[in-house]
Amino acid sequence: MNEIVEFVCKRCGWCCRNLLETKDGIERGLPLTDKEATRFPQELVSPKVAIGITDPKIVVLYQLNVNVCPYINSQNVCEKYEDRPLMCRSFPIVAGDLSNRCTVFSYRIKGVSYSDSYSMEKQLDASVKFTLYLKNRIKKYYQKGLKVWEYNLATKNWVCRGFYDSL
């Protein structure tokens, strides 16, 4: 039987220095809740997801609009580790639309085979909290016919993703 091991971050800094990602023609950055967004320099924060009936009226999620996080230092240590966003806590179990770019997942720890699984309890917990946060934000304003918009960092335009119920 495979041993369940703790995920060990190599502190390579890759995930904190490659935050921007383009998928479905939309450039996206590190997702941030309301509170998390206030912990970053405001010029580095953009809206990410908004809801409304006819236009993106209420922003329910923010994002970092730069590729390299301002809090990763030259030793690859997060300078806001205790206060890091839920998305960082969940990494490399990612919630939402971020893809997994962790170098450890394709990295063999001595004595551990690729088929071994990581426990990832803390990461899963953060991922669930993030998903719940977004659901609850939308639930607060829910009404029939609600649409969801995503902000494209490349074009600085909102893109309609359709009715909330159909997503």
Site for ligand SF4 in 59-78 (CB under 6 A): 69, 71-72, 78
Q: In the 8-state DSSP scheme, what is residue 40?
A: S
List the one residue out of 130, 66, 63, 40 whose CA is nearest residue 93. Answer: 130
Q: Is 15 in the site for ligand SF4 (CB under 6 A)?
A: yes
Under 8 Å between Cβ of 61 and 33: yes
Distances (CA, A) of 40 to 17, 44, 69: 15, 7, 9
Residues 25-64 that bind ligand SF4 (CB under 6 A): 30
**Residue 84 in contact with ligand SF4, rule: CB under 6 A:** yes
Query: Given the complex with ligand SF4, which of 120 and 159 has the nearer CB atom?
Result: 120
Residue span binding ligand SF4 (CB under 6 A) among the ranges 52-60, 102-110, 125-133, 139-147: 102-110
Name which of 98 and 148 has its Cβ closer to ligand SF4.
Answer: 98
Contact status: 124 vs ligand SF4 (CB under 6 A): no
Q: Which two tokens stand for residue 114?
A: 């690729």
- Cβ neighbors of 11 (< 8 A, separation 6 or more) are 75, 76, 77
Q: Cα–Cα distance between 68 and 93 in angstroms, integer?
A: 20
# of chain residues touching ligand SF4 (CB under 6 A): 22
Q: Shortest gap between Cβ of 4 and ligand SF4 (angstroms)? A: 18
> Applying CB under 6 A, which residues contact ligand SF4?
9-16, 30, 69, 71-72, 78, 80, 84-85, 88, 91-92, 102-104
